[in-house]
Amino acid sequence: MIFLDAAATTPVRREVLEAMWPYLSGEFGNPSSHHSLGEAAADALAGARAAVAKVLGCRPGEVTFTSGGTEADNLALKGIALARRGADPALDRVAISAIEHPAVEESADYLRRVHGFTVDVVPVDRHGLVTPEAFAAALRPETALASIMYANNEVGTVQPVRELAALAAARGIPFHTDAVQAAGWLPLGVKDLGVDALSISGHKLGAPKGSGVLFAKGRLRIEPLVHGGGQERGRRSGTENVAGAVALATALTLAAEEQPRLAARVTELRDAFIRAVLEAVPGAVLTGHPAQRLPSVASFCFPGTSGESVLLELERRGVVCSSGSACAAGSDAPSPVLLALGLEAEVAQTAVRFSFTSAVTANELEQAAAAVRDAVGSVIGIGRR
């Protein structure tokens, strides 16, 4: 099987499994316990926090471990917006892009439905880019928080986060970015990016599902979502997932070391794959930005097909990928992300996303491009019969 669905999830890396194993077995203590087992667990958690902080270029106290990217996004959106409005009732708006992951989009909608916030949705251009002009136009004196994803999970477009964060900072508005897809592929230094908050998910990086991080700048107040024993400096109660934190820290550290080399290699393979698919399938459309895109994502529409049928035909030929995002998989509705890029609903329904791990090879992608040609040919043939 050729696995081209890494944006949905990745296998746990051996080094990560080995690093986390002691905290699932012999060193199984609760970090809050006042005995040697508890202290060993607390030390491991502190080590993981310091390692994540090193990659992000922040202080360890600014790192909150969560149960994944979804929780990190929820904590950022709800936690920051509610804390800021608590301090100043006039701050009752949030700004997000039109192509956010549901973890951000639904959190913003919750703020609207339940807490009376207004959500300002920043449009994107046909490549999925948020322009600085459109972003600046959405920022108001009442904006409690702006959240623009670093890289999109369906089309791979990478946003000009530095520039956008600077626009928010100039207005005193905290800026959050969902870096779940960017982590492992793009630089994550939070000072250089100029962001106030950033979300990461472990399972996109070779750590297990159910591990994540929210970076939030020290001075930012966050209203917790989960109440209890006050772990994670009161930001996220609940006995810590020590093994998960160690796993995420290990995966993130390895990814940061490998990132420049692997990103360059995979970008070349991605571009060759895009050329091969566009040549092999007449009428195929590359979605997202032609250059400002994740090294690991090639996404297309194949007009005249249905994305789901192409997926089935590809799987019969040994290639596993996804129609749009895993979260929307199985739904017949065209992807809101593709509609926001201005694609017709009929075309958006024909989307297929190929996403690569860093281990992908030229040979696999050559085989995959041939499988795409045959799969699309077969679906169109079936349609004509």
Q: What residues line the site for ligand PLP (CB under 6 A)? A: 68-70, 73, 101, 103, 149, 153, 178, 180-181, 201, 203, 212, 326
What is the distance between the alpha carbons of residues 286 and 126, in angstroms, rounded to a whole number? 11
What's the DSSP call for residue 116? -
Q: What is the dihedral sign for C-alpha 260, 262, 268, 273?
A: negative
Shortest CB 89 distance to ligand PLP, Å: 30
Strands 285-286 and 297-301: antiparallel
Residue of minimal Cβ distance to ligand PLP: 69
Q: Which residue has tokens 């409005």?
A: 85
Q: Which is nearer to ligand PLP, 181 or 323 (CB)?
A: 181
Shortest CB 212 distance to ligand PLP, Å: 5
Widest Cα–Cα separation across the chain: 72
Q: Which is nearer to ligand PLP, 85 or 289 (CB)?
A: 289
Shortest CB 211 distance to ligand PLP, Å: 8
326: left (phi over 0), alpha (psi -120 to 50) or beta: alpha
Shortest CB 62 distance to ligand PLP, Å: 20
What is the distance between the alpha carbons of residues 236 and 66, in angstroms, rounded to a whole number? 7
**Out of 58, 301, 321, 327, which one is annotated catalytic?**
327
327 given a catalytic annotation:
yes
What's the DSSP call for residue 359? T
Residue pair 160/133 in contact (Cβ under 8 Å)? The answer is no
3-state percent breakdown (helix, strand, coil) of the chain, nearest 5: 45, 15, 40
Q: Which is nearer to ligand PLP, 181 or 357 (CB)?
A: 181
Q: Which helix (H) or strand (E) holds 75?
A: none
Shortest CB 284 distance to ligand PLP, Å: 24
Q: Which is nearer to ligand PLP, 81 or 180 (CB)?
A: 180
Q: Which is nearer to ligand PLP, 81 or 281 (CB)?
A: 81
Active site residues: 327
